[in-house]
């Protein structure tokens, strides 16, 4: 799979000179040429059609990708290490009573849709932890996604094997001193949008957005395991750890 960027298209053309292309459904391993966003979309396809994904960075950041290298690909795939990722499942109820379900590899984020701040009621495992959080929004991040939007919102970077999720507010106004929480990966987080008719909020699982949400329930889905392949010297856990010491 390749995105539409010239570097990715050129890499695909080169690889097709050596390897036979096949459909996503028939492949055992899917080689993804692009950036992190394109890789996330490929991972979402494996929710219903389990595959191992090997990413080659043809984008900018490429945090979830292997370094650009088209040499000895067959041997590198044989030696690649598997990283298992468990996605979050986001269930939403909208103002009109419609229910939606989406999955997130990186994070679920809530954002205000208007000029007014969002008012959110936060419960964890059925216990109300914040009666009213006044903010621009909130993020629930997996360890794999903790270096992305979560980190930009001043959330913590989570080791890949930490078995925790990061709940990080976006521009919190009240409570003044609340800067987030670390939750067990088994936690169920329920967020109720207060005054949702005049303070509308959208919810996004990676790239799937639901607007005018009223209630959101987020939990891990251990029955869905996504598999990423990395060259031994591109270990994702070590890369995430190193991010904590980057300037």
The set of catalytic residues is: 36
If you search the block for the tokens 């360890």, which residue do you land on?
Answer: 143
Dist CA 119 CA 132 (whole Å): 6
CA angle 19, 61, 84 (to 5 degrees): 65
Nearest to 87, CA basis, from 105, 101, 107: 105
Count other Cβ atoms within 10 Å, centred on residue 179: 13
What are residue 29's DSSP bridge partners?
A: 52
H helix intervals, 30-133 = 36-45, 73-79
Strands 181-184 and 201-205: unpaired
Dist CA 64 CA 127 (whole Å): 34
If you search the block for the tokens 């709940």, which residue do you land on?
Answer: 167
Dist CA 158 CA 166 (whole Å): 8
Dist CA 91 CA 190 (whole Å): 9
């Amino acid at each position: 799979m390749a995105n539409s960027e010239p570097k990715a298209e050129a890499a695909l053309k080169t690889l097709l000179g050596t390897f036979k292309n096949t459909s996503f459904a028939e492949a055992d391993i899917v080689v993804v040429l692009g950036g992190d966003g394109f890789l996330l979309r490929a991972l979402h396809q494996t929710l219903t059609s389990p595959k191992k994904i090997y990413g080659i960075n043809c984008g900018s950041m490429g945090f979830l990708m292997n370094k650009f290298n088209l040499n000895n690909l067959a041997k590198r795939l044989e030696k690649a290490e598997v990283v298992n990722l468990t996605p979050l499942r986001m269930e939403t109820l909208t103002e009109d009573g419609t229910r939606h379900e989406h999955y997130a590899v990186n994070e679920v984020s809530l954002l205000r849709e208007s000029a007014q701040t969002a008012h959110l009621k936060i419960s964890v495992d059925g216990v109300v932890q914040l009666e009213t959080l006044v903010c621009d929004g909130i993020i629930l991040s997996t360890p794999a996604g903790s270096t992305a939007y979560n980190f930009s919102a001043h959330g913590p970077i989570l080791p890949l094997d930490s078995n925790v999720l990061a709940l990080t507010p976006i521009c919190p106004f009240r409570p003044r001193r609340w800067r987030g929480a670390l939750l067990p990966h088994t936690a169920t987080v329920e967020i109720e949008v207060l005054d949702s008719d005049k303070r509308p909020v959208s919810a996004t699982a990676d790239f799937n957005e639901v607007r005018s949400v009223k209630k959101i329930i987020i939990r891990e889905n251990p029955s869905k395991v996504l598999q990423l392949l990395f060259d031994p010297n591109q270990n994702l856990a070590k890369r995430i750890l190193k991010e904590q010491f980057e300037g």
